[in-house]
């Protein structure tokens, strides 16, 4: 199986049009770039109303015949609608039914997502803080702004570390270097 060769660039648009090179692994990408790189995925280009329209525009990039060129994919994103709330719905018990009729599905758009090695020194687009962080920092944000931030996908604070022990294993208190099964 061939590894995907991700482009190396300062932003997603340049990753599609003028990459500095391509690499499958971080150390290879850093060697080509001559500096540290960070793996990221960003949206590029216009939003399309249907998946068919997006495939028509980006089909050769999404369905690349060579496995090494499959660094693009289409994703569906919810479009914000003024006056529409996505708050949890309280259950009702009417006519023998527990839940109300479902609300109509929100409007969505299809976007091209490009995965690439971004140069660590490159400026990131200005991003809003995560909603939870903004609330904890007690920033004075308008409710509409806070709702828009909450609709954005979650970003990890730091990369997830691999588990060093299993679910049913513990370290001995007298010697933390020894892992024993836990019953």
List the chain domain ranges. 1-89+99-122, 125-153
State residue 111's pLDDT score: 93
> What's the residue count for the chain?
183
User: Average pLDDT for residues 36-57, to the nearest whole number?
Assistant: 91
Q: Is there a contact between 55 and 43 (Cβ–Cβ < 8 Å)? A: no
User: Average pLDDT for residues 61-79, to the nearest whole number?
Assistant: 87
Residue 177 has pLDDT above 80, yes or no: yes
Range from 29-43, 112-126, 128-142 that averages highest in pLDDT: 29-43
Nearest to 44 by CA among 4, 15, 7, 9: 15
SS3 50: coil
Considering only residues 74 and 82, tell me which one the structure prediction assigns the higher pLDDT: 74
Return the number of other C-beta atoms located less than 10 Å from residue 16's C-beta: 19
Q: Which residues contact 157 (CB under 8 A, 6 or more apart)?
A: none
State residue 93's pLDDT score: 78
CA neighbours within 13 Å on the CB side: how many for 155? Answer: 13
Considering only residues 172 and 92, tell me which one the structure prediction assigns the higher pLDDT: 172
User: 180 pLDDT band (50/70/90 cuts)?
Assistant: confident
């Amino acid at each position: 199986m061939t590894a995907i060769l991700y482009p190396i660039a300062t932003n997603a648009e340049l990753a599609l049009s003028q990459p500095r090179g391509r690499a499958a692994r971080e150390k290879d990408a850093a060697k080509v770039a001559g500096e540290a790189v960070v793996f990221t995925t960003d949206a590029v280009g216009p939003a399309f109303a249907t998946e068919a329209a997006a495939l028509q525009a980006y089909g050769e990039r999404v369905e690349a015949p060579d496995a090494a060129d499959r660094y693009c994919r289409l994703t569906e994103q919810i479009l914000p609608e003024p006056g529409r709330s996505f708050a949890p719905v309280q259950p009702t018990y009417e006519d023998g039914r527990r839940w109300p009729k479902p609300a109509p599905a929100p409007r969505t758009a299809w976007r091209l997502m490009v995965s690439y090695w971004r140069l660590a020194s490159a400026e990131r687009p200005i991003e809003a803080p995560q909603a939870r962080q903004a609330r904890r920092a007690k920033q004075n944000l308008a409710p509409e702004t806070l709702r828009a931030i909450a609709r954005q996908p979650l970003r990890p604070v730091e990369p997830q570390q691999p588990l060093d022990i299993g679910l049913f294993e513990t370290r001995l208190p007298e010697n933390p270097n020894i892992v024993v099964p836990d019953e």
